[in-house]
Amino acid sequence: MPLPARDTDARPDPNALLALAGREGRGRLTVFLGAAPGVGKTYAMLSRARRERDAGVDVVIGIAETHGRAETAALIEGLEVLPRRRIDYRGRALEEFDIDAALARRPRLIVVDELAHSNAPDSRHPKRYQDVEELIGAGIDVWTAVNIQHLESLVDVVSRITGVTVRESVPDSVLKKADEVIVVDITPTELIQRLEAGKVYLPENARRATEGFFKPGNLTALRELALRRTTDRVDDQMIDYLRQNAIEGPWETADRLLVCIGTDALSEKVVRTAGRLANGLNAHWLVVTIERPGQDIADPVAMHRLDQTFLLAERLGAETRRVSGHDYVGEILRLARRENATQIVLGRGEAGWWRRIAGRSLPDALLRRSSDIGIYVVTSEDTEPPPTPGRRPRLALLPMAKAGALAVGSVAAAVAIGLGLQHFVPLPNVSMLFLMAVLLCALTIGRTAAIAAAILSFFTYNFFFIAPVYTFTIAEPHELFALVIFLIVAVTTGDLAGRVRDRAEGAGRRAASTQALYEFSRKLSGITSVDDVLWAAAAHAQATLGGRVILAVPIEDELTVTAAWPPDIALDTTDMTALRWAFEKRENAGRGTGTLPNLAFQYRPLLTPHGAVGVFGFERPEGGPGLTPTEDRILVAILDQTAIAVDRARLARDSARTAALEESEKLRSALFSSISHDLRTPLASITGAVTSLRQLGERMSAASRDDLLASIEEEAARLSRFVSNLLDMTRIEAGALNARRDWVDIADVVRAAADRARKAFPDRAIDVSIAPDLPPVRGDSALLGQVLFNLIDNAHKYGAADTPTAIYARREGGEVLISVIDQGKGIPPADLERIFDKFYRRGKVDGRAAGTGLGLSICRGFVEAMGGTIVAESPAVRKRGTRIVIRLPIAA
C-alpha cells in the first residue's frame, strides 16, 4: 500500500527524533528469533556472519553454542573466536562469555549466542542480555539468537501451552529495541523430522522431547507467537519511520493502559497479562500501586514481592509509579484521566464475604464510577493461594498477638473496675468503661486491637452487667437495642480513633523526615569544601538508613572513596568495578540491581545537570531487606542534595581558580607592559649612546662624550632600580623576605636616604626635618633606607619640579612617624589605598606612566615585614600634594 502524501506543514515527532538521535554512537542489535530449539537460528546467524567476513567486515565470534551439531560447528572454522572465561563454581568449571575481552578487542561485529542465558554468579551481569546491552552501548554491532518462549511476557503462556516451566527469560524491551529482527522459521513437521534424525538433541533426549515439548500443537502455537511478535516489531518500526518523517499515518488515537498492582501474588500475573495486552495493542502502559500516606508496608515478604513486580514491569517495558492516597478508586480514576488511559487493568482476588455482599471490591467500585474508561479484570485462577495462618511469618503474628493481649487485658480491666464500683455506687451505664477500653486499644495499638476490644466488650458487657447476669441471655428488648447500639458505636469509635492514631504517626514520621532533610540541607548550605559535604552526607545517610555507607568522587580521573561510615571500610576489586560502573554508566549497580547483584553494597551515582559527580554506596544492616518506599524517597532526596552541594562546591572552587587566573593574567599583562617600556627604554638609551661613541669616537667633542656617558650611567642606574624592584617584589610574594630586627637609629637612616637621593637626582631639592632625641626602633636599616629612597623617588615623579620634597621624622606616642611629602596634584580619596597595589600607576612621564608601579607595593611589604604600617594621605599641604606616613613601634 503506498504511503500517504507528506503534509508540508507537518513536523516530525520530537520524541521520535530524540529516540533516533539517542542511537548515535551505539551499536546495532540484530536478533535471530525462533519458535523453538532446533529451527536453525545459530546456523543462519553463523552463515550470515561468514558472508559478512568475506565482504571485509571485522567479525568475531564471542560465543556460539553448537550443541554438538557438526554442520553448525563447521561454520565456525575460519572465524576468529574469543576465548571463553573459566569460572570455578561449586567444584565445577564453567565457561562463560568474556565481555572484557570483547570490549578490549572491539570488533565491528560480534556474535553472542543464547541471549536468555544466565551467567555464573560471580559475573558482572546476571544475564547475558545485559552483556549485549553493554556491548551495544560501546558502539559494537551484536548478532544474537533467542527463542520466543524466553520472552518475559510469554513465560506463563508458554508454560500453559507446553506444560514446561521456562527458567530463563529476556525482557520484551530488548526485542523492542532491536534494530533488526530476523525470523528463522520451519514447519512443525520439518522440525520434528530434524529432531528424530538427531540433528537437534541426542536420540534419547530427542525421544523425550517429542513426547513432551515438541508436539505439533505446541510447535504451531509457538510459531504463531513468534510470527505475531515479529509483526508487532515491524509495525513499531513503521510507526517510528512515519513519526520521524512527519508522515500522517492512519492512527487517530493511541491506546494507553493503566495497570494497578499490590503486594499480593496475583500482581505478577496482572503485569504479564498487561504486557501481552500492551504489545498486542502497541500501547504505552503505566504500572502503579496506591499506598496510604504515612503507612509503609510492614511485611518484608510483601514489600519484596511488590519490588520484584515493579522490576518485572520495567523489564517488560512499562513505566512504574507509586501514588499515595486514601481513596483508591478516586486516585486510580484521577491518574487514569491525567495520563489519558483508555483501559485500566487490575486483578480480582478472593474477596471476603462482607465485600462480596456489599459489592465493595476494587473492580466493582471502578466499574460503577468509570463511565469512559474500559476495565480489564484479571482473575486469580492458576495463582498460588495466599499463605494460610499457620504458614504466616512469625513476625506477622507478633503484632496480632500483642493487639489481642491488649484487647483482652483492657476489657478485663473494665469488667473489674465496673464490678468493683457497683459495690460502692450504683452505675446507670457501665458501657462507658468499655468505650474507654476500646479507645485505649485504638490509641495504643491501632484499629485491629480497637475492633477486637469492641467485639469482646459486646459479650462481656452482656455477660456481667445485663440481667440476667452471668448468662448471654437478654431479658428486656430495650437492653438488646442498647447493646447493639453500643457495639456499633464501639466499633466505629475504635476504627476512627485507630485511623487518627495511624495518621498522626504517619504525620509524625513525615515531619521528622522533613525536619531531618531540612537540617541536612541547612548544614550543606554552609559548607564550601567537597570533603566536608561528603562527610556530612555519609553521617546523615548512615543515621537514616543504618548499615555501612561510602561516598566516592573522582580525584585525578580516579574514583576514590573520600568518606565512609564507619571510616575503616575497605572495598575489594569487585566492589570498585561496580563503583566505576555506576559512575561511568550513570545507573545503579551492586545488590538488587542488574549489575553484580551478589555484592553486599548497592551503588548509586550522584547525578547533576553537569553529569555524575560521585557515587554513593550503602549496605543494609546485617543483610536486611531492601529499602522501603519511604526510605527510598528519603535516600533520593539526600543524594540529590549531596550532588547539588558537591557540584556547587566544585563550581565555587573552579570560580576561585578562574578568578586567580584572571588576576594573574592582569598582573602578567601589567608586568609585560612595564617591561616593554620601562625596562626596554633604558636599554635602548644605553645602546644608542654606546653606538654613537663607537661610530663617532674621537670626532665627538669632550662635552658630547661626557653627556653620552652620563646618559649611560643614568639609564643603567634606572634599569638597576627596576630590576631591584622586581627582585624585591618576588622575595615578598615568595615569603622569602627575612627582615632583621636590629636597633635602628631613624635619624641616621633618613639622612643616608636623603644623601643617596641627592646624588641620584641632583636637580631636585630635599628638605629634611628630624625631631631631636628620637628613640630607636627595631628593624632593618637597609630595608628602611630602600623604603625611604623609593618614597623620595615617587615624590620626585609626582611632585612639582620647582618645589622641594620634604621628609619629617618625629615621635607620636609609642611610635616613630616618618613622613615624605610632595607638593604635586595629590591623589583622589578612592585611590589612596590602591596606590600600594602592584603595577598601579598614576600620572604621565614622557607620555607613559612612570616606573613599573612596584615601588610603593615594595615599600608596604618591607614596612610590614618590620612590624610597621604605611598609609597615604592627600591633600598634604594647602590642598595639594601627597603625604606618605610610615609608623614604626619604638623598641622596648
Kindly report, residue by residue over 281-298, the tens digit of the pLDDT: 777 888 998 887 655 555
According to the model, what pLDDT value does residue 592 have? Answer: 77
Report the range of poorest mean pLDDT among 156-165, 395-404, 872-881.
Answer: 395-404
Beta strands in 486-543 (DSSP E): none
Reported as a single tens digit per residue, the pLDDT across 429-482 is 667 777 777 777 777 777 677 777 777 877 787 777 777 777 777 767 766 677
According to the model, what pLDDT value does residue 392 have? Answer: 43
Does residue 668 surpass a pLDDT of 50? yes
Does residue 73 surpass a pLDDT of 50? yes
Beta bridge partners of 180: 30
Question: Is the CB of residue 267 less than 8 Å from the CB of residue 380?
Answer: no
Does residue 722 surpass a pLDDT of 70? no
Domains of the chain by start residue, with CATH: 14-244 (3.40.50.300), 256-382 (3.40.50.620), 397-504 (no CATH), 547-734 (3.30.450.40), 737-889 (3.30.565.10)
Q: Residue range 854-880: average pLDDT?
A: 80
Does residue 110 surpass a pLDDT of 90? yes
Q: Crossing angle of helices 216-244/155-162, nearest 10°?
A: 160
Question: Is the CB of residue 260 less than 8 Å from the CB of residue 363?
Answer: no
- As a whole-number percent, the residues of the chain with pLDDT over 70 amount to 78
Does residue 111 surpass a pLDDT of 90? yes
For the ranges 192-196, 360-364, 624-628, 870-874, the one whose mean pLDDT is highest = 870-874
**Secondary structure class of 75 (helix, strand, coil):** helix
Q: Residue range 486-502: average pLDDT?
A: 73
Instruction: Tell me the pTM.
Output: 0.54
Per the prediction, the chain carries an average pLDDT of: 77
Does residue 575 surpass a pLDDT of 80? yes
According to the model, what pLDDT value does residue 721 have? Answer: 66
Does residue 50 surpass a pLDDT of 70? yes
Does residue 43 surpass a pLDDT of 50? yes
Q: What does the alpha-carbon distance between residue 453 and residue 493 come to, in Å, rounded to a whole number?
A: 11
Q: What does the alpha-carbon distance between residue 261 and residue 255 come to, in Å, rounded to a whole number?
A: 19
**Secondary structure class of 628 (helix, strand, coil):** coil
Reported as a single tens digit per residue, the pLDDT across 163-195 is 788 888 888 888 888 888 888 888 888 877 777
Question: Is the CB of residue 839 less than 8 Å from the CB of residue 722?
Answer: no
Does residue 2 surpass a pLDDT of 50? no
Pairing of strands 589-590, 558-565: unpaired
Question: Is the CB of residue 596 less than 8 Å from the CB of residue 627?
Answer: no
Reported as a single tens digit per residue, the pLDDT across 621-635 is 765 556 776 777 788
Q: What does the alpha-carbon distance between residue 878 and residue 617 come to, in Å, rounded to a whole number?
A: 74
According to the model, what pLDDT value does residue 12 have? Answer: 57
Q: Residue range 746-765: average pLDDT?
A: 86
Pairing of strands 869-873, 882-889: antiparallel
Pairing of strands 805-812, 815-822: antiparallel
Reported as a single tens digit per residue, the pLDDT across 331-351 is 888 888 877 788 899 888 655
According to the model, what pLDDT value does residue 364 have? Answer: 80
**Secondary structure class of 95 (helix, strand, coil):** strand
**Secondary structure class of 659 (helix, strand, coil):** helix
Q: Residue range 267-288: average pLDDT?
A: 86
Beta strands in 496-650 (DSSP E): 548-555, 558-565, 589-590, 602-608, 611-619
Q: For residue 289, what is the enclosing H or E element?
A: strand 284-291
User: What cell numbers appear for 559 in the block?
Assistant: 574514583
Q: For residue 122, what is the enclosing H or E element?
A: none
According to the model, what pLDDT value does residue 245 have? Answer: 59
Q: How far is CA 746 from the centre of its chain?
A: 66
Higher pLDDT, 301 or 335: 335
Question: Is the CB of residue 132 less than 8 Å from the CB of residue 99?
Answer: no
CA angle 856, 720, 713 (to 5 degrees): 125
DSSP 664: H
Higher pLDDT, 47 or 608: 47
For the ranges 45-49, 233-237, 663-667, the one whose mean pLDDT is highest = 45-49
- As a whole-number percent, the residues of the chain with pLDDT over 90 amount to 6
Question: Is the CB of residue 838 less than 8 Å from the CB of residue 854?
Answer: yes
Of 345, 347, 349, 348, which Cα lies nearest the Cα of 376? 345
Q: Residue range 529-540: average pLDDT?
A: 82
**Residue keyed to cell 483482652:** 408
According to the model, what pLDDT value does residue 29 have? Answer: 92
Residue 83: cis peptide before it, omega within 30 degrees of 0: no
According to the model, what pLDDT value does residue 395 have? Answer: 44
**Residue keyed to cell 618625629:** 810
